[in-house]
Amino acid sequence: AQTVTQSQPEMSVQEAETVTLSCTYDTSESDYYLFWYKQPPSRQMILVIRQEAYKQQNATENRFSVNFQKAAKSFSLKISDSQLGDAAMYFCAYRSPASGTYKYIFGTGTRLKVLA
């Protein structure tokens, strides 16, 4: 069974600085999808970035980028030029592409604080 581990329960970053959130996973599959979701105090889970395992190129979305290391089963999220609005709970998620498997495997989350 797949597992997702987020080893940092809480992180802090100074405004305008860069922070990296870690995520590791365990799977025997060669093809899968990985996601980072952000959940601010407003509660809504918002997709930050998505990575297909078969793509070697790391995904980027504006100030957000990932460092995807398939062999190491690592999927870290880098937030550049951190803003106060980045403060939220961040969840890493894994999804198998197997037919009929709609489930996400979520990590336990990392709470990010942004200091002014």
Partner 1 sequence: DTEVTQTPKHLVMGMTNKKSLKCEQHMGHRAMYWYKQKAKKPPELMFVYSYEKLSINESVPSRFSPECPNSSLLNLHLHALQPEDSALYLCASSPLTSDVGNTQYFGPGTRLTVL
DSSP, residue by residue, the chain: --EEE---SEEEEETTS-EEE--EEE-S-SS-EEEEEEE-TT---EEEEEEETT--SPPEETTEEEEEETTTTEEEEEE-S--GGG-EEEEEEEE--STT---EEE---EEEEEE-
Q: Return residues touching partner 1 (CB under 8 A).
A: 33, 35, 37, 42-47, 50, 52, 89, 91, 95, 97, 100, 102-104, 106-109, 111
Of the pair 42, 56, the CB lying nearest partner 1 is at: 42
Tell which residue, 85, 71, 84, 93, has the closest CA to residue 21. 93
Of the pair 25, 35, the CB lying nearest partner 1 is at: 35
Shortest Cβ 9–partner 1 spacing (Å)? 9
Shortest Cβ 113–partner 1 spacing (Å)? 14
Shortest Cβ 16–partner 1 spacing (Å)? 27
Of the pair 50, 78, the CB lying nearest partner 1 is at: 50
Shortest Cβ 33–partner 1 spacing (Å)? 3
